[in-house]
């Protein structure tokens, strides 16, 4: 009998298989009950996503460490799927953020004929996000990354308006450009390291050879640029405000949270192979540091001028992408941990803020004047989310992850990035406190908006309560968040 080329542990693949099973069941249900399966499709998809998140969190804990599958036979023995605590936490974040986005999407556009389509697209994208966090070979990593991106284009365009069509087209064009850069970067990585996986051994060998080092730096530059599109980092950010404003709120939530978690997970797979290089990262620090500084400064300054809350959050996403990149300029394990913790906190805070927008229907910041008095639940949760993004008490976890993000940069001596981050903190406080001041205002402006009732939006209420609960727990026990991101 011919021995198997690859050993497969199906249980380890459960975080990806759960949404895949959800896709199959949703498509079957929609085929049997066309035009009447929309609500059930959303519930089924949400159940699949939550089940995958539970599996992602439980598996490494049950195994007492990283879990691997898709392993090649000896003497190579490399495993093409490896998920430790950090990867599994990001996988769970992608799946739970996808479930929250699905809830906002369904309640924002409750048309049954769209429910199965939206659920299928979102499940497919989450499958890609889960897979890319654990993929260690170039082929799986590239395919999974595009699977996490392409369905989002259809989700943006699914709204059916001129603005959504423009946003979807912008996202599609940048996605294609991004994929071209990623493929070229992967090819150069293979040329430099002679290895089709993201391994520290191959990267270290290439780094020690001056000729191969040049190719490796170019490979990392292209890979960071390709992921910069998906992360909304400057100068690859132009699609973000247009797509956020053109999409419905659930899709915007997916782009802001699940999509960003997927992009960061993919970036950590690459940079994990480049940590603690002999002689320091050298030019690699510039490759990551330039988009970090540009994203911090441009995103924060432009957000300061926005009156549309969705566009403000879009530019905030760009600034927060800079914060995610800041600790990665140190090319250390501490930097990887800080980036993972930061993006998890950012995703939770963004989902809460967008859920409040779905509850209120506000189109300008002024529409939120006196919201804390008119709707204490919405006003209170939004205030906490904004203070977390600003890094101010009682949003303590926002301050903690900013300090943790700065620590490896200062230790590595990457001074320009540290200075830019400090400046961004100061301006960022003004961005979010401007919105908080409107929420706390005693002068209540009569609103022409129809406040959606809680009874009509139970899923939005769940997103608000669970998201706020996570932020409160993380603020009270930030060490637990950092341990999960290890």
pLDDT tens string 318-348: 999 999 999 999 999 999 999 999 999 999 9
pLDDT of residue 222: 96
411-420 pLDDT, tens digit per residue, is 988 899 999 9
Can you tell me whether residue 220 is helix, strand or coil? helix
Q: Burial of 423 by CB count in 10 Å (0-12 exposed, 13-18 middle, 19+ buried)?
A: middle
Contact 423, 384 (CB under 8 A): no
- DSSP one-letter string for 233-281: -TTS-THHHHHHHHS-HHHHHIIIIIHHHHHHHHHHHHHHTTTT-TT--
| Distance in angstroms (rounded) separating the CA atoms of residues 90 and 341 | 9
State the pairing for strand pair 79-83/67-71.
Answer: antiparallel
| Distance in angstroms (rounded) separating the CA atoms of residues 11 and 14 | 5
41-50, 272-281, 297-306, 449-458: which has the minimum mean pLDDT?
A: 449-458
Name the pLDDT band for 47 (thresholds 50, 70, 90).
very high
pLDDT of residue 89: 94
> What would the mean pLDDT of 127-151 be, rounded to a whole number?
93
Residue boundaries of the structural domains of the chain? 7-176+237-274, 275-486
Q: Burial of 357 by CB count in 10 Å (0-12 exposed, 13-18 middle, 19+ buried)?
A: buried
Contact 292, 325 (CB under 8 A): yes
| Distance in angstroms (rounded) separating the CA atoms of residues 64 and 39 | 39
**Average model confidence (pLDDT) across the chain:** 88
215-249 pLDDT, tens digit per residue, is 999 999 999 999 999 999 999 888 999 889 888 88
> What would the mean pLDDT of 114-132 be, rounded to a whole number?
91
pLDDT of residue 1: 42
pLDDT score of 435 more than 60: yes
Q: Position of tokens 């609960």?
A: 469
Contact 157, 165 (CB under 8 A): yes
| Distance in angstroms (rounded) separating the CA atoms of residues 136 and 266 | 10
pLDDT score of 451 more than 60: no
pTM (global) more than 0.75: yes
Spatial CB neighbours of 34, under 8 Å, sequence gap ≥ 6? none
> What would the mean pLDDT of 59-64 be, rounded to a whole number?
86
β-sheet bridge partners, residue 82: 68
257-297 pLDDT, tens digit per residue, is 999 999 999 999 999 999 988 888 889 999 999 999 999 99
Contact 66, 90 (CB under 8 A): no
186-207 pLDDT, tens digit per residue, is 999 999 999 888 989 889 999 9
Residue 18 has which token pair?
A: 């759960």
């Amino acid at each position: 009998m011919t021995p198997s080329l690859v050993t497969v542990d199906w249980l380890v693949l459960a975080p990806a298989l759960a949404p895949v099973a959800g896709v199959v069941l949703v498509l079957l249900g929609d085929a049997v009950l066309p035009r009447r399966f929309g609500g059930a499709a959303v519930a089924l998809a949400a159940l699949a996503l939550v089940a995958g998140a539970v599996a992602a969190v439980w598996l490494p804990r049950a195994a007492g460490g990283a879990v691997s599958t898709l392993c090649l036979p000896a003497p190579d023995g490399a495993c093409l799927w490896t998920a430790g605590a950090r990867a599994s936490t990001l996988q769970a974040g992608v799946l739970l953020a996808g479930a929250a986005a699905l809830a906002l999407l369904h309640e924002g556009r409750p048309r049954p004929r769209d429910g199965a389509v939206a659920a299928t697209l979102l499940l497919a994208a989450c499958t890609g996000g889960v897979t890319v966090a654990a993929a260690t070979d170039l082929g799986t990593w590239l395919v999974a990354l595009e699977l996490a991106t392409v369905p989002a284009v259809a989700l943006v365009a699914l709204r059916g308006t001129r603005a959504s069509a423009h946003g979807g087209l912008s996202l599609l064009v940048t996605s294609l450009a991004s994929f071209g850069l990623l493929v070229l970067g992967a090819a150069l990585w293979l040329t430099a390291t002679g290895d089709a996986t993201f391994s520290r051994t191959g990267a270290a060998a290439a780094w020690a050879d001056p000729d191969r080092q040049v190719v490796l730096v170019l490979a990392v530059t292209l890979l960071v640029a390709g992921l910069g599109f998906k992360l909304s980092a400057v100068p690859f950010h132009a699609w973000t405000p247009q797509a956020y404003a053109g999409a419905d709120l659930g899709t915007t939530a997916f782009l802001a949270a699940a999509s960003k978690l997927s992009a960061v997970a993919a970036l950590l797979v690459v940079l994990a192979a480049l940590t603690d290089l002999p002689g320091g990262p050298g030019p690699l620090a510039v490759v990551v540091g330039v988009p970090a500084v540009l994203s911090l400064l441009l995103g924060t300054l432009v957000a300061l001028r926005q009156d549309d809350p969705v566009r403000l959050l879009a530019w905030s996403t760009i600034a927060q992408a800079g914060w995610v990149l800041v600790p990665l300029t140190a090319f250390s394990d501490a930097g990887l941990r800080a980036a993972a913790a930061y993006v998890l906190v950012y995703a939770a805070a963004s989902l809460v803020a967008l859920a409040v927008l779905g509850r209120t229907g506000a189109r300008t910041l002024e529409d939120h004047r006196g919201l804390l008095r008119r709707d204490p639940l919405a006003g209170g949760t939004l205030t906490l989310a904004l203070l977390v993004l600003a890094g101010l008490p009682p949003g303590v976890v926002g301050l903690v992850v900013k300090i943790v993000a700065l620590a490896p940069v200062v230790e590595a001596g990457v001074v320009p990035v540290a200075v830019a981050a400090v400046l961004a903190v100061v301006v960022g406080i003004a961005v979010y406190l401007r919105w908080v001041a409107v929420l706390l205002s005693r002068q209540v402006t009569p609103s022409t908006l129809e406040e959606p009732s809680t009874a009509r939006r139970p899923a939005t209420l769940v997103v608000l309560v669970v998201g706020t609960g996570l932020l409160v727990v993380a603020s009270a026990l930030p060490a637990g968040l950092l341990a999960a991101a290890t």
